[in-house]
């Protein structure tokens, strides 16, 4: 598949052990269309047999990491007219993208500038570390759109922030989580000056790249297996729940209100 939105640069840093993956649609919105998600999923295969790269940094554009799922994407909007089985199959693209990043052997770092919303937040919590600019902000809008938060992100957020903050972030869907708040909540590891998230990530990556690669990979694998041991129990019905909530009147109201730029009125049906 030809890549339109994702580029890869390898051989950076000490002994060429750092790679940078950049997701940039060129519009400072960086929404996750079907094409974009497939590219972000498939780019991880560039590292499957790569024993030279120790650290992979994922970044967006200079003004935005990602606005989340692209509600205007024609491919995405077709889902509502598809049979249930095909809708569930298509809904698994996002979770598979996130899981592909979590399963990388290399240490992964998200360098975040600007907004990181919905699916963008789901993607960055799949990585090992998150650095952001001080004007960056996060938001998890799915509930306000009438759907569940999926893509396997709730167990990952729970591991980072604990149960109360995860509930707050997901349920109070219209609330922005600023960079300072994200640091306090442990959603990110470091806040830096705007425009410096990638440089700070690179400096951190260089420290990792100077460590012996084999025990670094082993250490990551051990921590992840323990931290995510129960993730499948919590998230195995994500796609089914997303399709189920997509059949509700509240989903139609939530997405209509988003497009019409008004507050939704939910009725629980």
Mean pLDDT (whole number) for 175-184:
96
Task: Give the CA dihedral 220, 222, 224, 226, nearest 10 degrees.
Answer: -160
pLDDT of residue 99: 95
CB 151 within 8 A of CB 94: yes
**Residue 267's pLDDT band (cuts 50, 70, 90):** confident
Q: 215-237 pLDDT, tens per residue?
A: 999 999 999 999 888 877 766 67
Is residue 30 within 8 A of residue 24, CB to CB? The reply is yes
| Alpha carbon distance 119, 179 (integer Å) | 18
Place of tokens 């998150």: 130
* pTM, entire model: 0.90
The CATH T-level fold of domain 6-211+230-260 is 2-enoyl-CoA Hydratase; Chain A, domain 1 (3.90.226)
Average pLDDT along the chain: 90
Site of tokens 């967006």: 60
> Is the model's pLDDT at 183 over the cut of 70?
yes
Give the per-residue pLDDT at 57: 98
User: Domain locations in the chain?
Assistant: 6-211+230-260
Residue 69 in tokens: 């799922």
- pLDDT > 90: percent of the chain: 65
């Amino acid at each position: 598949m030809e890549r339109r939105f994702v580029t890869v640069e390898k051989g950076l840093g000490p002994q060429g052990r750092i790679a940078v993956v950049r997701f940039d649609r060129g519009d400072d919105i960086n929404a996750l269309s079907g094409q974009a998600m497939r590219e972000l999923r498939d780019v991880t295969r560039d590292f499957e047999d790569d024993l030279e790269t120790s650290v992979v940094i994922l970044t967006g554009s200079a003004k935005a990491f990602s606005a989340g799922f692209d509600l205007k994407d024609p491919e995405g909007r077709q889902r509502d007219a598809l049979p249930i089985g095909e809708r569930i199959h298509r809904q698994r693209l996002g979770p598979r993208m996130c899981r592909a990043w979590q399963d990388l052997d290399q240490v992964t770092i998200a360098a975040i500038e600007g907004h990181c919303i919905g699916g963008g937040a789901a993607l960055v919590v799949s990585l090992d570390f998150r650095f952001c600019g001080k004007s960056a902000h996060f938001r998890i809008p799915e509930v306000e759109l009438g759907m569940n938060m999926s893509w396997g992100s709730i167990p990952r957020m729970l591991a980072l922030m604990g149960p109360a903050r995860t509930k707050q972030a997901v349920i109070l869907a219209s609330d922005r989580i600023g960079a300072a708040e994200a640091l306090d909540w442990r959603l990110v590891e470091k806040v830096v000056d705007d425009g410096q998230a990638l440089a700070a990530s690179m400096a951190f990556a260089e420290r990792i790249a100077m460590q012996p690669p084999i025990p670094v990979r082993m250490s990551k694998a051990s921590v992840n297996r323990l931290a995510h041991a129960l993730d499948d129990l919590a998230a195995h019905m994500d796609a089914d729940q997303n399709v189920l909530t997509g059949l509700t009147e509240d989903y139609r109201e939530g997405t209509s209100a988003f497009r019409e730029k008004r507050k939704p009125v939910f009725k629980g049906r």
